Amino acid sequence: MQSFLKKYNTFSKKIEIMAVDILLGLQWGDEGKGKIVDVIAPKYDVVARFQGGPNAGHTLEFDGHKHVLHQIPSGIFHAAIKNVIGNGVVLDPIIFRKEIDALKKFNIDFAKNLFISKKAQLIIPSHRLLDLASEKSKGESKIGSTLKGISPTYQDKIARQGLRVGDILDKNFKSYYTTLLTIHKSKLDFYQFDLSKDLAGIKDFEKYDFDFAKIEADFFSAIEFLKTFNLVDSEYLINQELSQGKSVLAEGAQGSLLDIDFGSYPFVTSSNTTAAGVCSGLGVAPSTIKEVFGIFKAYCTRVGSGPFPTELLDVVGNKIREIGREFGSTTGRPRRCGWLDLPTLKYSCMLNGVTHLLMMKADVLNDFDEINICTGYKLANGSTTDQLPYDMVKEAVTPVYTTMKGWHCDLSPYKTFDTMPVELKEYLTFIESEMKVPVSVVSIGPDRNQTISRL
């Protein structure tokens, strides 16, 4: 008995040490995940992306640099951290090479701190054509995809015919590629895709003069480039780190309301953006997960189509867009803006088991006399609810608002929670009381240093 207990204690101690924390978006993406991952990364040994791909655009600002990452984890600027592109990610080699080129000036030792799962799926150029063809065929009801080939790539994964990063090391890779391209060509025929006309829909493909052979040549040279990086069985790498007592931060992409299962379907992305995606996207056990940092803006934005109950199609919406510079980090598209929506935030907290809330872009509301918060929805039958209807696309809801006084001042001098303007404290207290989760970080500007934390 004694020895069993001793063993058991050692075992449970080990469990306490091993931990994966998650940082993910609670809205429709672009909450400021990149900034916060960069800020908290020094507390971790590993930062890992578990889903999504180049549809993400994560912005980091420090020491006068502004940098947008798409596939590379946002811990990359910290030399001591291992950054992992996990198996749940879809990776575009052409965009990967561009990202690496853009990082050249930072002298990062990628051999030491960047690892790519061999099980991550590869985005090939025809995936992007399929994305465009599918969107065109939907006309008015298009999803508003970033056109990075995300959905067609995940479709091939589920259809068990996708190419994986590890396949590029196989001498038959070219023939695997040709087999997949043949399938894609027949799909493009179905969509009646015309390369010379339709390719113009993808901005960064214009440089190829609609010549697919040129795109392919670029793709294969990017594949050779990709081969020079650490291509690993990342589930082993991460679990080995964990068993040595190291800590891992899983970096979400997109937001919970774009989740393939729980988002505003069909206006969603094609992966599980919620905490559940971490286990399958990295190969870690549920018992390793500890803190879940849920990040949201002090208001809401959405880029692309789909329901957005608190959207402001007026001067107030325009004011938020202008002050918050709400234009896509990946596509440059103007983001739709609106008030904070607590029913969706509660839903996201529930799905993810959020343990800490992080409120971003408080400074964008500095100049408002009054700020609205949506606390519930009025349904067509006259009743009010704080739950999301089954289908927000078909069931129109009218937001019910609580109006709060704005803090109406520049937040830059504030460094601690205690000294914050009283109106901002009231805004946070109201959110905490509704969510039953503490707000542990308030971000007051895009720079690393513009962060008030009580984590």
Site for ligand IMO, rule CB under 6 A:
25, 28-30, 55-58, 143-146, 148, 150-151, 253-255, 258, 269, 303-304, 329
**What are the beta bridge partners of residue 356?**
293
Q: Restricting to residues 312-341, which ones interact with Mg ion according to CB under 5 A?
A: 329
Going by C-alpha positions, the residue among 373, 355, 428, 337 that lies closest to residue 30 is 337
Query: Pairing relation of β-strands 46-49 and 82-85?
Result: parallel
In terms of CB distance, is 115 or 299 closer to ligand GDP? 299
Q: Restricting to residues 29-48, which ones interact with ligand GDP according to CB under 6 A?
A: 29-35
Chain centroid, CA 239 distance in Å: 23
Q: Is 446 helix (H, G, I), strand (E, B) or coil?
A: coil
Q: Number of residues in contact with ligand GDP, rule: CB under 6 A?
A: 22
Distance, in Å, from the CA atom of 120 to the CA atom of 164, rounded to the nearest integer, reads 6
Choosing from 108, 130, 444, 452, the residue that interacts with ligand GDP (CB under 6 A) is 444
**Crossing angle of helices 173-190/125-138, nearest 10°?**
10
CB of 41 to ligand IMO, least distance (A): 16
**What are the beta bridge partners of residue 49?**
85, 251
Choosing from 19, 302, 446, 452, the residue that interacts with ligand GDP (CB under 6 A) is 446
Active site residue 30: yes
In terms of CB distance, is 72 or 397 closer to Mg ion? 72
201 lies in the binding site for ligand GDP (CB under 6 A)? no
In terms of CB distance, is 86 or 304 closer to ligand IMO? 304
Taking contact as CB under 6 A, which single stretch among the options 141-149, 261-269, 285-293, 359-367 is the one that binds ligand GDP?
A: 359-367
57 lies in the binding site for Mg ion (CB under 5 A)? yes
In terms of CB distance, is 302 or 346 closer to ligand IMO? 302
CB of 330 to Mg ion, least distance (A): 6
Active site residue 58: yes
- Write down the catalytic residue from 21, 38, 45, 58: 58
Query: Pairing relation of β-strands 289-297 and 384-385?
Result: unpaired
Distance, in Å, from the CA atom of 253 to the CA atom of 56, rounded to the nearest integer, reads 6
One character per residue 314-333, x = contact with ligand GDP (rule: CB under 6 A): ----------x----x----
CB of 359 to ligand GDP, least distance (A): 9
Q: Which amino acid type is present at position 176?
A: Y
Q: Name the token pair of 282.
A: 């990295």
Q: How far is CA 397 from CA 109, 315, 386, in A?
A: 51, 22, 11
Judge residue 182's burial from the number of C-beta atoms within 10 Å of its C-beta, 0-12 exposed, 13-18 middle, 19 or more buried.
exposed
Contact by Cβ (8 Å): 74, 84 = no
Q: Is 241 helix (H, G, I), strand (E, B) or coil?
A: helix
Applying CB under 6 A, which residues contact ligand GDP?
Answer: 25, 29-35, 57-59, 61, 324, 329, 360-361, 363-364, 443-446
Applying CB under 5 A, which residues contact Mg ion?
Answer: 30, 57, 329
